[in-house]
Every structure is written in structure tokens, then in C-alpha cells.
Amino acid sequence: MSNRIKINEAEPAAYKAMLAFDSYVEHSSLTTKHKDLIKIRASQINGCAYCIDMHTRDARKAGETEQRIYALNAWRDTPFFDEQERALLALTEEVTLISNKVSNETYNNAAALFDHGYLAQIIMAIIIINAWNRIGISTGLEPK
């Protein structure tokens, strides 16, 4: 897959816009732990090996445990995630799998736990990682 397009070279303005959106999310009030959970879980669902590798490494550096990282794809069946994290993960899954819609139950649960600004930032974080996953997968990025 090394012959695939490099978006940053072919369309630098588009790539710069992605980086600006990413910078907004990185500088938002979302906790590092919340951002990491969103990035890893969406990347798992989308099957983006490049992003899974990058974001699990980043999460470890930020103090995330191996146990939680390994159990993330089965988060509903573990006691390792708190109520806010569970709401965030459910929303991440439904936004990532958007053709199935975001249920009122999932949305309302998240809205009851987070203020409007924080909830908006969660949704934006989910959107940007899904966009990066699509770039990574379509252009054949591979972990190093």
C-alpha cells in the first residue's frame, strides 16, 4: 500500500484544515482520558491499525492501564469504566456506526452526565477521529 496518495502532499490545504479541527479538539476541555478512550474505541470499530497503534501508545504514556486498553472492546462487560466513560463509549460507538443512528437513550444518558459544551466537544472528538480513521484506512497508513 506504499503507493497510495499522501493527502498532506496532494492537498495540503485540506490536511491543514484537518489539523486545525484536530487542534480544536486537543485544546478543548475534554480530559485526556476521555479523548484517548474516544480515539481508541472509534479506531477499533473502524479497524484503523495505524490509529489504534498511535492512540494506545499515547494513552499508555498518559497513564492509561493495559487492563482498560485490552478490555475496551468489551467495556460493557467489565467493571473498569465509570458512568461517564460508559456514556462516552456508547456515544462513540453509535456516532461511529452512524447508519444505525444515535439512539435517544444513548444521547439522553450522555446529556444527563455532561454539560452542553462538553457534550458538543465529545461529539466533535468522535467526528475527527472517524475522519482520521478514514484517511488512514483509505490511504493505507500502517503502524511503524
Give the model's pLDDT for residue 3: 82
Give the model's pLDDT for residue 97: 98
**pTM of this structure:** 0.96
Q: Which residues of the chain have pLDDT under 70?
A: 1-2
Please give the grid coordinates belonging to residue 88.
462516552
Query: Which residues neighbour 21 within 8 Å (Cβ) at sequence distance 6 or greater?
Result: 124, 128, 131
Give the model's pLDDT for residue 2: 63
The tally of CA atoms less than 13 A away on the side-chain side of residue 100 is 10
Long-range pairs for 113-118 at CB < 8 Å and ≥24 separation? 113/83, 113/84, 113/87, 114/84, 114/87, 117/29, 118/29, 118/30
What's the distance, CA 23 to chain centroid? 14
